[in-house]
């Protein structure tokens, strides 16, 4: 699917590097297929030395190089970038934007006649455990969506969704790592309270959450069924769950996702 495809990244920050690293490590792309542009010459030099990829500070040169163009710039400057590259983007180029909050209509309005995708990845792409949601523009094909899934599965998992669900994705998986870090920190505090040292408590908490998530993903079972499997009558787990329910953990998490989704919608407008 990606044989002989040239992939270009406008923007060479942490998210772009994570995606690039994942693609190279699993062999979907070779360094010779990749080029990155950025305003920072020092950043480009680092990436060139680290991964052997081509780099440039000329966005238009990168656009001409690319069969697949990934826009990995901040939302505040994507308008300027779009205006700059619009006259140069070939109609055969697939453009993928990972700029938060930039809707497909905005991309299509500037890049007229070009196939565009919008992707919302989250920060665990940095450790190849990310989650990405992909929405297809009006001209994008099913094959374009499959290609994007393949790209982002190099750094985790990916799903295709309707764009009107993107705010919900932002509230759940985009902001979700933040919720998880709070939970891990709280569990670690509890571990310290019952006598564990901080380092051990953090390890126990983080590995436990990772293991539980892996069980959900790999078994395909509903979380409630897996919970029941570890909840013995009159045992320790049900005692702990009882306290969580009394204190509204479930409601707090649901409310957090809803509020984050509302905030995403407000920011997009």
Residue 78, marked binder: no
Identify any residues that bridge with 96 across adjacent strands, giving them in sequence order. 70, 117
- Number of neighbouring beta carbons within 10 Å of residue 222: 10
**Interatomic CA distance for residues 39 and 239, integer angstroms:** 55
Residue 234, marked binder: no
Any alpha helices (H) in 102-221, and if so which ranges? 104-110, 142-152, 166-169, 176-193, 198-219
Question: Which residues have a Cβ under 8 Å from the Cβ of 170 and sit 6 or more positions away?
Answer: 100, 120, 260, 261, 264
Query: Is 229 annotated for ligand binding?
Result: no
Is 73 annotated to bind ligand?
yes
| Alpha carbons 226 and 213: distance in angstroms, whole number | 11
Q: Any known ligand binding at 72?
A: yes
* Residue 210 marked in a binding site: no
The radius of gyration computed from the CA coordinates of the chain, to the nearest angstrom, equals 21
- The Cα 170–Cα 19 span in angstroms is 19
119 annotated to bind ligand: no
Q: Does the annotation list 91 as a binding residue?
A: no
Q: Is 79 annotated as a binding residue?
A: no
Cα separation, 92 vs 24, whole angstroms: 24
Binding site as annotated, residues for NADPH: 59
Binding residue numbers? 10-15, 59, 72-75
Annotated binding site for NADP(+): 10-15, 72-75
């Amino acid at each position: 699917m990606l044989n002989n495809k040239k992939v270009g990244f406008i923007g060479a920050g942490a998210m772009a590097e994570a995606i690039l690293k994942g693609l190279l490590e699993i062999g979907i792309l070779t360094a010779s297929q990749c080029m990155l542009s950025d305003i920072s010459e020092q950043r480009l030099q680092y990436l060139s030395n680290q991964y052997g990829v081509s780099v440039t500070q000329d966005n238009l040169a990168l656009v001409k190089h690319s069969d697949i163009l990934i826009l990995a710039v901040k939302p505040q400057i994507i308008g300027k970038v779009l205006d700059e590259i619009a006259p140069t983007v070939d109609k055969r180029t697939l453009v993928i934007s990972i700029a938060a909050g930039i809707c497909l209509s905005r991309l299509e309005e500037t890049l007229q006649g070009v196939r565009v995708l919008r992707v919302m990845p989250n920060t665990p792409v940095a450790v190849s455990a990310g989650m990405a949601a992909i929405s297809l523009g009006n001209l994008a094909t099913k094959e374009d969506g499959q290609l994007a899934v393949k790209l982002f599965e190099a750094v985790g998992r990916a799903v295709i969704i309707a764009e009107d669900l993107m705010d919900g994705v932002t509230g759940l998986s985009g902001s979700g790592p933040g919720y998880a870090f709070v939970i891990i920190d709280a569990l670690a505090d509890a571990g310290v309270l019952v006598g564990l040292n901080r380092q051990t408590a953090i390890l126990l908490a983080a590995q436990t959450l990772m293991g539980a998530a892996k069980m959900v993903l790999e078994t395909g079972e509903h979380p409630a069924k897996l919970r029941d499997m570890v909840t013995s009558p009159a045992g320790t787990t049900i005692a702990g769950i009882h306290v969580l329910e009394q204190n509204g953990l479930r409601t707090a998490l649901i409310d957090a996702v809803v509020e984050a989704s509302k905030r995403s919608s407000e920011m997009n407008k």
